[in-house]
């Protein structure tokens, strides 16, 4: 028997502008980080941190440029979301549609007007927009001219951007989040923090200085949001992957705890509690990190705490102090060792529905603020059958098992606002640039080499999710 989901539970789907809009130069849009990331194996190598020049090579294919053309097809796509009964739809605003270079004084009207059209269309269908202000979409100009988030000046540019979109969309958008998966800067600084790191030894000081600037920027945006839209709710957004100790050896348990604190809690502690956690002081000392702060920064952090925690959940992570004799996990951007109790997706992401219940309990236990699962899903190869159907039972199974655990967590006392499944319509993978790593309820005829008609088709999971939403989670 399915557990009861609260009335008004926010069921929906999630995307990010750069992964599905296309129209990368339409309406005066400037280049962002995702626009300069090529597809294929090379992308993962770049994200693994080598020096990268953020330039476009005319001989390479850039999958985010045209993506799935939501830019022109938003009406058709939103109608499909409405058909599934979405209560909310999460997307990001592409920073470079609004401020093409990032450091202009005035916003770009064509970009603002585009999101007016999108939000109006959603609202027309009774769907509330949930907006991420920055989802791996920093303007390339800010990367090249200012060094990304290492530079304090970027806070001013972000504040100006946040103010412009709050003023424009107040009354239309009630749910906001500042930085997508802010803690991903620890493993992929290129996408999250806007700079490449040449050597491991050089990473600590700039990474944490950049985090400090993002924290201040996020807190300032929270304050602005409250002033401009007192009725809105604004959250942080983190990747959450519970860290398990490989076994009960105390050294391994301690190691797992340290990894968990740094990866899962460091950013959320600052954004939810408004102060740096005690455990980070030792880490800073051991890595010679000395943050440069301005007077008032700590007050800003304190005043700009978030209303809720948005998080992505795809997998758990298993850690061991000495990994030398263990099998690593393949194809996955997370570190760790293989968990013998879990199966993995075709991309090596270990599938762990119970880990979602654990995550919900741990997060709620630590912070006691509402939680919002804003990403979860299975990246899988889909096959279009001769009759045109897509029988994605594997995706239904994955989602069903995770939703059952959400029900358990609600029963455990966790305050869960909603659930937006990642990539509700097939889109470009962030880590690999592939189209073939599909997450959607809606299939898009677009392929890794850029070919395809862009036709949309309802998968079997489309009808299943519609029934889940219709029954508010009763029919899983
Ligand atoms: C999250 C990101 O990490 O995972 C998304 O916020 C991303 O942007 C999603 O698409 C799934 O990852 P991938 O690499 O399979 O696209």
Contact indicator for 399, 2 with CB cutoff of 8 Å: no
Range list of H helices, 99-139: 109-124
Closest ligand 1 atom number to CA of residue 184: 3
For residue 424, what pLDDT is reported?
98
Beta carbons within 10 angstroms of residue 277's beta carbon: 16
What are residue 371's DSSP bridge partners?
309, 416
ipTM of the complex as predicted:
0.99
Contact indicator for 66, 449 with CB cutoff of 8 Å: no
Contact indicator for 93, 172 with CB cutoff of 8 Å: no
- Calpha distance 181→20 (Å, rounded): 18
Residue of the CA atom closest to atom 4 of ligand 1: 430
Q: Which three-class secondary structure state does DSSP give residue 88?
A: strand
Contact indicator for 304, 274 with CB cutoff of 8 Å: yes
For residue 324, what pLDDT is reported?
83
* Ligand 1 pocket mutation, candidates 16, 349, 427, 430, criterion most atoms within 8 A of CB: 430
- Calpha distance 428→16 (Å, rounded): 10
Contacts of 473 (CB under 8 A, 6+ apart): 2, 3, 4, 5, 9, 11, 403, 406, 407
- Calpha distance 132→107 (Å, rounded): 18
> What's the mean pLDDT in 366-374?
98
Quote the ligand 1 centre to 429 CA distance (angstroms).
Answer: 6
Q: Which of 12, 100, 22 lies closest to 377, judged by CA?
A: 12
Residue of the CA atom closest to atom 5 of ligand 1: 430
Task: Specify the residue for token string 């299943």.
Answer: 464
Residue of the CA atom closest to atom 15 of ligand 1: 429
375 is a catalytic site residue:
yes
Q: Which domains does the chain have, with CATH numbers?
A: 10-243+261-270+306-316+350-470 (3.20.20.80)
Tell me, yes or no, if the pTM score tops 0.80.
yes
- Digit-coded pLDDT (tens) for 13-72: 999 999 999 999 999 999 999 999 999 888 988 888 788 999 999 999 999 999 999 999
Task: Please check the confidence at residue 333 and state whether its pLDDT lies above 80.
Answer: no
Beta carbons within 10 angstroms of residue 261's beta carbon: 17
Task: Please check the confidence at residue 200 and state whether its pLDDT lies above 80.
Answer: no
Quote the ligand 1 centre to 431 CA distance (angstroms).
Answer: 6
Q: For 6-20, 189-203, 232-246, 278-292, which range has the lowest pLDDT when averaged over its residues? A: 189-203
Q: What is the mean pLDDT of the chain?
A: 96
For residue 215, what pLDDT is reported?
98
Q: Which three-class secondary structure state does DSSP give residue 436?
A: coil
- Digit-coded pLDDT (tens) for 410-430: 999 999 999 999 999 999 999
Closest ligand 1 atom number to CA of residue 377: 11
The response to whether residue 312 sits with its C-beta less than 6 Å from ligand 1 reads yes
- Calpha distance 432→46 (Å, rounded): 10
> What's the mean pLDDT in 217-240?
98
Token digits of residue 363:
């997060």
Task: Please check the confidence at residue 197 and state whether its pLDDT lies above 90.
Answer: no
299 by Cβ neighbours in 10 Å (0-12 / 13-18 / 19+) ranks as exposed
For residue 7, what pLDDT is reported?
96
Task: Please check the confidence at residue 160 and state whether its pLDDT lies above 70.
Answer: yes
The response to whether residue 438 sits with its C-beta less than 6 Å from ligand 1 reads no
The response to whether residue 422 sits with its C-beta less than 6 Å from ligand 1 reads yes
Task: Specify the residue for token string 């890794």.
Answer: 448
Quote the ligand 1 centre to 245 CA distance (angstroms).
Answer: 25
Grade residue 326 by pLDDT with cuts at 50, 70 and 90. confident
DSSP state of 36: G
Q: How far apart are the first and last CA of the chain?
A: 9
The response to whether residue 91 sits with its C-beta less than 6 Å from ligand 1 reads no
Grade residue 297 by pLDDT with cuts at 50, 70 and 90. very high
Q: If you compute the radius of gyration of the chain from its CA atoms, what whole number of angstroms results?
A: 21
Quote the ligand 1 centre to 405 CA distance (angstroms).
Answer: 21
The response to whether residue 369 sits with its C-beta less than 6 Å from ligand 1 reads no
- Calpha distance 409→411 (Å, rounded): 5
Token digits of residue 359:
């995550």
Quote the ligand 1 centre to 235 CA distance (angstroms).
Answer: 19
The residue ranking higher by pLDDT, 325 or 249, is: 249
- Digit-coded pLDDT (tens) for 105-141: 999 999 999 999 999 999 999 999 999 999 999 999 9
Q: Which three-class secondary structure state does DSSP give residue 27?
A: helix
Task: Please check the confidence at residue 322 and state whether its pLDDT lies above 80.
Answer: yes
Quote the ligand 1 centre to 64 CA distance (angstroms).
Answer: 13
Task: Please check the confidence at residue 89 and state whether its pLDDT lies above 90.
Answer: yes
For residue 4, what pLDDT is reported?
83
* Ligand 1 pocket mutation, candidates 431, 434, 438, criterion most atoms within 8 A of CB: 431
The response to whether residue 430 sits with its C-beta less than 6 Å from ligand 1 reads yes
327: left (phi > 0), else alpha (psi -120 to 50), else beta? beta
DSSP state of 251: H
Contact indicator for 210, 269 with CB cutoff of 8 Å: no
Q: Which three-class secondary structure state does DSSP give residue 391?
A: coil
- Calpha distance 17→23 (Å, rounded): 10
- Calpha distance 143→298 (Å, rounded): 26
Residue of the CA atom closest to atom 8 of ligand 1: 430
Quote the ligand 1 centre to 148 CA distance (angstroms).
Answer: 21
Quote the ligand 1 centre to 183 CA distance (angstroms).
Answer: 13
Percent of the chain surpassing pLDDT 70: 99
Grade residue 323 by pLDDT with cuts at 50, 70 and 90. confident
Q: For 283-292, 332-341, 354-363, which range has the lowest pLDDT when averaged over its residues? A: 332-341
- Calpha distance 291→427 (Å, rounded): 38
Maximum alpha-carbon separation in the chain: 65
The response to whether residue 440 sits with its C-beta less than 6 Å from ligand 1 reads no
- Calpha distance 309→69 (Å, rounded): 30
- Calpha distance 205→208 (Å, rounded): 6
Name the catalytic one among 375, 386, 408, 474: 375
Grade residue 338 by pLDDT with cuts at 50, 70 and 90. very high
Grade residue 288 by pLDDT with cuts at 50, 70 and 90. very high
For residue 202, what pLDDT is reported?
82
Task: Please check the confidence at residue 331 and state whether its pLDDT lies above 70.
Answer: no
Task: Please check the confidence at residue 2 and state whether its pLDDT lies above 60.
Answer: no
Residue of the CA atom closest to atom 2 of ligand 1: 430
């Amino acid at each position: 028997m399915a557990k009861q989901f609260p009335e008004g539970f926010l069921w929906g789907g999630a995307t990010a502008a750069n992964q599905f809009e296309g129209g990368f130069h339409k309406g005066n849009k400037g280049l962002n980080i995702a626009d300069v990331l090529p597809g294929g194996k090379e992308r993962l190598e770049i994200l693994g941190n080598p020096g990268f020049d953020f330039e476009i090579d005319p001989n390479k294919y850039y999958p985010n440029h045209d993506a799935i053309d939501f830019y022109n097809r938003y009406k058709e796509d939103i109608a499909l979301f409405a058909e599934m009964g979405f209560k909310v739809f999460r997307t990001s605003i592409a920073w470079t549609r609004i401020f093409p270079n990032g450091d202009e004084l005035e916003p770009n009207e064509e970009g603002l007007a585009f999101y007016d059209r999108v939000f109006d269309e959603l609202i027309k269908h009774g769907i509330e927009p949930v907006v991420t202000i920055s989802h791996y979409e920093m303007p390339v100009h800010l990367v090249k001219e200012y060094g990304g988030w290492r530079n304090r000046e970027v806070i001013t540019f972000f504040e100006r951007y946040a103010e412009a979109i709050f003023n424009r969309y107040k009354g239309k958008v009630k749910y906001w989040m500042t930085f997508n998966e802010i803690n991903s800067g620890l493993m992929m600084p290129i996408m999250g923090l806007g700079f490449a790191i040449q050597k491991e030894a050089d990473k600590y000081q700039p990474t944490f200085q950049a985090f400090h600037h993002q924290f201040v920027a996020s807190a300032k945006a929270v304050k602005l949001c409250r002033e401009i839209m007192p009725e809105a709710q604004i959250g942080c957004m983190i990747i959450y992957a519970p860290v398990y100790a490989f076994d009960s050896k105390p050294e391994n348990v301690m190691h797992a705890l340290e990894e968990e604190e740094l990866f899962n809690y460091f950013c959320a502690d600052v954004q939810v509690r408004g102060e740096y956690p005690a455990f980070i002081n030792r880490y800073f000392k051991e890595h010679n990190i000395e943050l440069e702060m301005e007077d008032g920064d700590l007050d800003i952090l304190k005043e700009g705490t978030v209303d809720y925690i948005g998080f992505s959940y795809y997998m758990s992570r298993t850690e061991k102090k000495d990994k030398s004799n263990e099998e690593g996990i393949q194809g996955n951007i997370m570190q760790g060792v293989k968990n013998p109790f879990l199966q993995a997706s075709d991309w090596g992401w270990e599938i762990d529905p119970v880990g979602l219940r654990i995550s919900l309990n741990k997060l709620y236990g630590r912070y006691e603020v509402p939680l919002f699962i804003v990403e979860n899903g299975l990246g899988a190869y889909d096959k279009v059958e001769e009759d045109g159907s897509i029988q994605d039972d594997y995706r239904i199974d994955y989602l069903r098992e995770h939703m059952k655990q959400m029900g358990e967590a609600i029963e455990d006392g966790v305050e869960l606002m909603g659930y937006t499944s990642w990539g509700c319509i097939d889109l470009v993978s962030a880590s690999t640039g592939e189209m073939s790593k599909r997450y959607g309820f809606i299939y898009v005829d677009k392929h890794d080499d850029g070919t395809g008609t862009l036709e949309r088709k309802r998968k079997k999971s489309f009808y299943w999710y519609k029934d889940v939403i219709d029954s508010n989670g009763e029919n899983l």
